[in-house]
Amino acid sequence: MKNNRRKILKGIAAAASLPLLSFLQPNQVFSANKLRRIAVEETFSIPEIIDAIEKLLAIHPEKDLGTAKALKFVPGINTIKERLIDLDDHRIKEMDKAGVDVALLSLWSPGVQLFDKQQAIELAELANDRLTEAIKRHPNRYGGLITIAPQDPQKAAQEIERGITRLHLNGVLINSHTNGEFLDNKKFWPVFEAAVAHKVPIYLHPRTPPESMYKAFADYTMDGAMWGFALESSTHVLRMILGGVFDEFPELKIVLGHMGEGIPYWLSRIDTISSRDRKTKRAPSEYFLDNFSITTSGMSWDPVLEFNLKVLGPERIMFAVDYPYVSYDASVRWMDKAPISQVHREMIYHKNAERIFNL
Ligand code: MN
């Protein structure tokens, strides 16, 4: 069926003497004829940042104990580093092979959030410039999220403005906590002001739990993607909700990977227990259902997709892969066959991402 559609499209494109890619420009009415696939949590880095992270963690592993460990012990880490840096070759081939049309790129966690202020600001700008160049080289294939240095919230707000108005990026990336501090702390709120002013979402991506939480996750490789990431980022989200971020910024949009980092599963109990001593105007689930969207990154599993369709609805779930940690091919094969309606599949594969990230 899919091949037939491609053949028909190729035929039409040839007949019109147009190259196929220009025929399939984003947001054209023809997109309904082809299942456009957009993946929204796709990781990249630049050599300068990988290098700076390695140098810093060699002396100060406590700045990110999980990443320090991963850089030493994760099998194939050198291949992962090569794939993070590559934006022209293997990555595009993998997307082509799987039939992924567009990848929304974001900087490898922990990004710049473990550096001191000045280094973080400079490397964030460099990452955003390189990302913009890659998008210019592959305008039909990539979108990108703005890296910021929350260490300096005012500068971070300015970088959001530059990223949207000058670089034309699609949203903001925050790799969760910054030096063990969370975004419910009002000193970070200029970042939210900027995101709301420019009407762009913030993708809150996990990172290793901070030193204050780390001990419980230190064994059995629990500190990373198996468990520590989700516990850290879900704790962060709850702090934002209960700390009144969404009373102050009702228009703020947050995107969470990994099917919502476990929060959807807990909403009922969070509402019940928090009602005993709640300072916010509304129940936590109301903010979650109004202000949050989730993605399928690294969680290609039918039951949790079906559950989230019931809890959040089809308009708040987006397809994501988590390349280069997860394969495009396997993720697409899963989503193509997931037991959901074709209408919902199209929303999850591209329509929601087009709306939320302006892709
Ligand atoms: Mn990721």
**Among 116, 247, 322, 329, the one annotated catalytic:** 322
Q: What is the pLDDT of residues 21-66, one digit of tens each?
A: 444 444 434 444 579 999 999 999 999 999 999 999 999 999 999 9
Q: How confident is the model at residue 173 (pLDDT cuts 50, 70, 90)?
A: very high
- How far is ligand 1, taken at its centre, from the CA of residue 297, in Å? 7
pLDDT at residue number 49 = 98
Give me the residue label for tokens 């196929």.
20
- How far is ligand 1, taken at its centre, from the CA of residue 277, in Å? 34
pLDDT at residue number 5 = 46
For the chain, helix, strand, coil in percent to 5 are: 55, 10, 35
pLDDT at residue number 215 = 96
pLDDT at residue number 317 = 98
Instruction: Give the bridge partners for 317, in sequence order.
Output: 294
Instruction: Give the bridge partners for 178, in sequence order.
Output: 181
Give the other-Cβ count within 10 Å of 60's Cβ.
11
Distance CA 139, CA 145 (A): 14
pLDDT at residue number 74 = 86
Contact assessment for residue 190 and residue 223, using Cβ atoms and an 8 Å cutoff: no
Give me the residue label for tokens 């990230």.
357
pLDDT at residue number 24 = 45
**Angle separating helix axes 263-274 and 228-242, nearest 10 degrees:** 40
Q: What is the pLDDT of residues 86-127, one digit of tens each?
A: 999 999 999 999 999 999 999 999 999 999 999 999 999 999
- How far is ligand 1, taken at its centre, from the CA of residue 211, in Å? 21
322 is catalytic: yes
For residue 234, which phi and psi values (nearest 5 degrees)? -70, -35
Which of 19-28, 74-83, 255-264 has the least mean pLDDT?
A: 19-28
Distance CA 298, CA 258 (A): 6
- How far is ligand 1, taken at its centre, from the CA of residue 313, in Å? 23
- How far is ligand 1, taken at its centre, from the CA of residue 12, in Å? 38
pLDDT at residue number 208 = 96
Q: What is the pLDDT of residues 205-247, one digit of tens each?
A: 999 999 999 999 999 999 999 999 999 999 999 999 999 999 9
Q: What mean pLDDT, rounded, does the chain reach?
A: 92
